[in-house]
Structure 1
Amino acid sequence: MKLQLTEIERVKTISKEDFYNNYVKKQRPLVIEQLTQDWPAYEKWKLNYIKEIAGDKTVPLYDDRPVSHKDGFNEAHAQMNMSEYIDLLQSKPTNYRIFLYNLMQQVPQLQNDFQWPDIGLRLVKQLPMLFFGGENSKVFMHYDIDYSNILHFHFHGKKQCILFAPDQTPYLYKVPHALISREDIDFDNPDFEKWPALKHAKGLICNLEHGEMLYMPEGYWHYMKYVTPGFSMSLRAFPRKLSNLSKAAYNVFVMRHFDNLMRRYRGQQWIDYKNEQAIIRTHKNLPLTPQKNR
């Protein structure tokens, strides 16, 4: 048995009006295949190009180790020069990823390689964040702290994306006071005996090729796997729904600070408690199994 996943809709191009009315307003994911083909990045953005212009930069690296009470919020697990990291990506599979990295601040010429798309979203005009990963490296199932509408562009290679709408949260073993599901769930091959609620979750899937863009509506869960080494860029727009804007404010100004405080105060007991609660709370949402007549 596998997850219930439907292919995300695809178009080659789309008008601003069509995208806004049929996808943003309706909060439906979409892959646009040719949005970047007139960008300099479409030809230039390969790993060797990044190595050439940013090889001397020290970059933060993350792996797939479980969350520890000793880790700060989004704290990196290691550091490496970009040139060494790209050599590693191109030589063998690695779990090391670069996550939410503002490379354009350090290498301003990258800003000339992309365009802010006129696609019906009021994009936040801060410097875009970049994400890098090696073959088969995975980004755990999570949703973004700010509930943004996200335009996620992929370059160099292939990346698989699994999404779940916010209304599927009851089945995803969400960890309380966090933005993640249980990290020990393998969303490629889930163990439905251990995680039975996942049988009821209905999600979406796509495989992004070089230059393609995935639109992720606000609050959508996403799990990413780098099929080959590559990197991605995200552009963001604030949530349109007032309820999501208030959730974002709570996450940023209350939740993450409370979680950090509890990690310092209770240590690993707090992490263990949250992981236990993810199971208890999720299994309360399971449909009742009819009892057999005796």
Structure 2
Amino acid sequence: MTLKLQDIPRVKAITKAGFLKNYFNPQKPVVIESLTVDWPAYTKWNLDYMKSVAGDITIPLYDDRPVDYKEGFNQPHAKMKMSDYVDLLKTEPTKYRIFLWNALKEIPQLQKDFTFPDFGIRLMKGIPMLFFGGRGSHTFMHYDIDLANIFHFHFEGIKQIILFDQKQSDYLYKIPHSLITREDIDFSNPDFKKWPMLKKAKGYQTELKHGEVLYMPEGYWHYMRYITPGFSMSLRAIARNPKNFSRAIYNIVIMRHYDNVMRRLKGQKWIDWKNEQAIIRTHKNSGITV
């Protein structure tokens, strides 16, 4: 048995009106295959190029270790020079990823390699973020703290992506006071005996290749796995739905700080309680005993 996933629709190109009508207004994902072909980045952006322009920069790295109560929100697990990291990516599998790196601020010349597309919604131009990963590395299933509309541009290699909208949250074993699901769920090959409610979840899937862009609507859960080494750039627009916007404010102003306080006060017991509650709350009213 596998997850109930439908392929994300794909288009070669799209107009602003078509995007707003068919994807943004109904909040449905789409892959646009040829949007970046006229960008200098389409031909320039690969791992070797990133090594040449950012090789001496020390970058934060993350892996798939479980959340530790001693770590702060989005605290990196290691640091490495970009040149060494690219060499690692190209020589062997690694779990180390670059996450939410504002590289364009540190390397202004990268800003000349692309233009901000006009999708009919205002993009936040100050925070284009880059994400890198080695073969087999993955993110936990999560949604972004600001519940933004996300445009995820992929470069070099192939990246597997699984999405769920917020209506599926009851089936995903969400960790309370957090933005992730249980970290021990392998969404690329889930154990339905251990996580039976996943059988009810309905989502989307795709594989992104070089130059393709995925639109992820507000608050969509996403799991990403690098089939081959590569990297992506995300552009974002604030949540337009008032409910999502208010949730984003709550997450940023209250939730993450409350979680950090509880980690300091209760330590590992807080993490263990949240993990247990993810199962209890997901199975509630389902007839499944914990």
Both proteins in one fold, TM over 0.5: yes
Task: Give the match for residue 18 of structure 1.
Answer: 18
1:286 CA drift (Å)? 2.6
* Code of the aligned partner of 2:47: L
The runs of 5 or more residues in structure 1 that have no matched partner are 290-294
1:125 CA drift (Å)? 1.4
CA RMSD of aligned residues (A): 1.0
* Code of the aligned partner of 1:26: P
* Code of the aligned partner of 1:156: E
Task: Give the match for residue 278 of structure 1.
Answer: 278
What is the CA–CA distance in structure 1 between the aligned matches of 2:82 and 2:225, rounded to whole Å? 21
Structure 1: which 4+ aligned runs deviate by more than 4 Å?
none
Within-5 A mapping of 1:223-262: 223-262=223-262
* Code of the aligned partner of 1:100: L
What is the CA–CA distance in structure 1 between the aligned matches of 2:201 and 2:226, rounded to whole Å? 23
Task: Give the match for residue 28 of structure 1.
Answer: 28
What is the CA–CA distance in structure 1 between the aligned matches of 2:82 and 2:137, rounded to whole Å? 17
What is the CA–CA distance in structure 1 between the aligned matches of 2:203 and 2:243, rounded to whole Å? 23
**Residue aligned with 1:56, SS:** coil
Greater shift in the superposed pair: 118-127 or 147-156: 118-127
* Code of the aligned partner of 2:202: K
* Code of the aligned partner of 2:266: R
Task: Give the match for residue 194 of structure 1.
Answer: 194
Aligned pair in 2 of structure 1 residues 42, 263: CA closer, same or farther (>3 Å)? same
Q: Compute the TM-score of the two structures, normalised by the length of structure 1.
A: 0.97
Task: Give the match for residue 73 of structure 1.
Answer: 73
* Code of the aligned partner of 1:71: E
Alignment of 1:47 with 2:51, yes or no, is no
* Code of the aligned partner of 1:213: V
What is the CA–CA distance in structure 2 between the aligned matches of 1:121 and 1:90, rounded to whole Å? 37
Alignment of 1:157 with 2:168, yes or no, is no
Identity within the alignment, %: 64
Alignment of 1:7 with 2:7, yes or no, is yes
What is the CA–CA distance in structure 2 between the aligned matches of 1:245 and 1:99, rounded to whole Å? 23
Provide, for residues 207-260 of structure 1, a one-character-per-residue CA deviation record: whole Å limited to 9, x for no partner.
000000000000100000001000000000011100100000000000000000
Q: Compute the TM-score of the two structures, normalised by the length of structure 2.
A: 0.98
**Residue aligned with 2:192, SS:** coil
8 Å contact kept, 1:99–1:131: yes
8 Å contact kept, 1:174–1:180: yes
8 Å contact kept, 1:145–1:251: yes
**Residue aligned with 2:141, SS:** strand
**Residue aligned with 2:199, SS:** helix
1:127 CA drift (Å)? 3.2
Provide, for residues 84-141 of structure 1, a one-character-per-residue CA deviation record: whole Å limited to 9, x for no partner.
0000000000000000001111111001001100111211111301000000100110
1:288 CA drift (Å)? 7.3
**Residue aligned with 2:139, SS:** strand
8 Å contact kept, 1:149–1:218: yes
Aligned length in residues: 289
8 Å contact kept, 1:151–1:236: yes
Task: Give the match for residue 292 of structure 1.
Answer: none
8 Å contact kept, 1:159–1:227: yes
* Code of the aligned partner of 1:37: V
**Residue aligned with 1:142, SS:** coil
The runs of 5 or more residues in structure 2 that have no matched partner are none
1:22 CA drift (Å)? 1.1
* Code of the aligned partner of 2:128: P
8 Å contact kept, 1:158–1:209: yes
Aligned pair in 2 of structure 1 residues 288, 74: CA closer, same or farther (>3 Å)? closer
Task: Give the match for residue 209 of structure 1.
Answer: 209
Task: Give the match for residue 106 of structure 1.
Answer: 106
